[in-house]
Amino acid sequence: MIKGFTTGVFDMFHVGHLRLLKNAKDNCDFLTVGVSSDDLVFNYKSKYPIISIEDRVEILSSIIYVDDVVVINDRDKKNQFLKYRYNRLFVGDDWKGSDIFNDLNLFLSKYDSEIFYFNYTKNISSSKLKSVLESIYEQE
């Protein structure tokens, strides 16, 4: 059985998120999705997600491509691997070539695990959606 893993904030769920999950599930038998906790997001973005962790977990759990959802409390990708022991990590290609993922790839290769990069969905992101909503509220 091929175990897959991906992580994200998944705030303001959109088609880019859905495509990532569908592509991931197409490339594994069991897909675990890690969703970043509210505090973790605040620690590295200095702002909280709009959608609560409980609601994001519920949304992800209801998607047919997702077999398991776990809450992620730190950004250490090596520790995540050691905890969840997946065969394939699924990531947007906007991370390809980054120091973090180049280093992680070397680490994972020791365990017969690999990183799959999927096309990042251009022209849509939770950050863009938040920006549009903020501009609407500022006009009121």
Is 122 catalytic? The answer is no
Catalytic position from the list 25, 47, 122, 128: 47
79, two tokens? 């520790």
Is 47 catalytic? The answer is yes
Under 8 Å between Cβ of 72 and 41: no
Under 8 Å between Cβ of 6 and 33: yes
Under 8 Å between Cβ of 105 and 115: yes
- CA–CA separation, 140 vs 135, rounded Å? 9
Catalytic position from the list 3, 45, 83, 130: 45
Under 8 Å between Cβ of 10 and 41: no
Catalytic residues: 45, 47
